Amino acid sequence: MYRPQIKVLDCTIRDGGLINKWQFSDEIVRKVFLALSEAGVDYMEIGYKSSEKYFSRGEHGAWKFCTEDDIKRIVGDMQTTMKLSAMADIGRIDSQDIPQKKDSILDMIRVACYAKEIDKGIALAHECLDKGYEASINLMAVSKVLERDLDEALDDLSKSYVPVIYLVDSYGSLYSEQIHFLAKKYFSALPGKELGIHNHNNQQLAFANTIEGIIAGINRLDATLYGMGRGAGNCPLELLLSFLKNPKFDIRPLIQIIQDIFVPMKAEIEWGYHIPYLITGVLNEHPRSAMKIMAQRELPDLRSFYEDLKDGTQLD
């Protein structure tokens, strides 16, 4: 049986862009759009909404900015029931860079913020709602937040009119029982709101933890093609849709695009489970240090890397 309330969001281009600075060709993004639409995915997160005064187009690809012209080049006149989303990071975009919904192809803006920025996150999400978008908040790096601070952030969210809140395992450090505990905490603190979940795969648990979120009642699910995403990557979309058993989903277009595009891409750009990412996940640390050594293509002494990170002597 399947739960018809569940909605799946693919964030391959947005999260995967964190490993190639969003340098995806229009052809690749268009093929991803078509495959996801044919597969029955509910939302495609096509990238970030970012202000160009904070980032250079010379260094970052179009999907770091997601202007209307960028998106129109991909979507054109194609008809689909799939909705389009972009993510806005607090401190990396100005509200005036998000147009009114009537002037945009995007359907939803997902606001990403940390617990210490929750007031700014709520303010931006409210602006997006007032402009006519669907909006949600991704509360980042929850594994590093003190319970008192998390409770305060959830209390602020409960008083907002943001309808969807995401539980995010940014460091891939959480286990299934922690996901279940946090989901119940979020549900208790946020009556009337819908919950989502976004997992990273540092400990090979992104898929399992997404299932645990489903068991706990979460209906908004993030995933990516072939698990592509920052560092160890995310919950693989092809696994998730196969698990959900909803007849509206068809994984055949996903298998085809993975074979055609993402298997060759993975040979050029590394993502997925590796011992350096395991180490940052186990130690509940940001994966930036693991990403740095993976980029060197020649691993250092991994025992020393673990010991240095555990002792706090290697922080970046």
State the sign of the Cα–Cα–Cα–Cα dihedral 91, 143, 115, 12.
positive
Which phi and psi (to 5°) does residue 9 adopt? -115, 125
pLDDT number for residue 164: 98
Angle between helices 176-189 and 206-216 (to 10 degrees): 40
Distance of CA 114 to the CA centre of its chain: 14
* Calpha distance 233→250 (Å, rounded): 22
**Candidate CATH numbers 3.20.20.70, 3.40.50.1970, 1.10.260.40, 3.40.50.1000; the one for domain 7-268:** 3.20.20.70
Which range, of 10-19, 156-165, 256-265, 276-285, averages the lowest pLDDT? 276-285
The residue ranges of every structural domain in the chain are: 7-268, 275-311
Residue 299 token pair: 């691993």
Q: Is the pLDDT of residue 105 over 60?
A: yes
H/E segment holding residue 223: strand 220-223
Give the chain's mean pLDDT: 95
Q: Is the pLDDT of residue 316 over 60?
A: no
Q: What is the pTM of this model?
A: 0.94
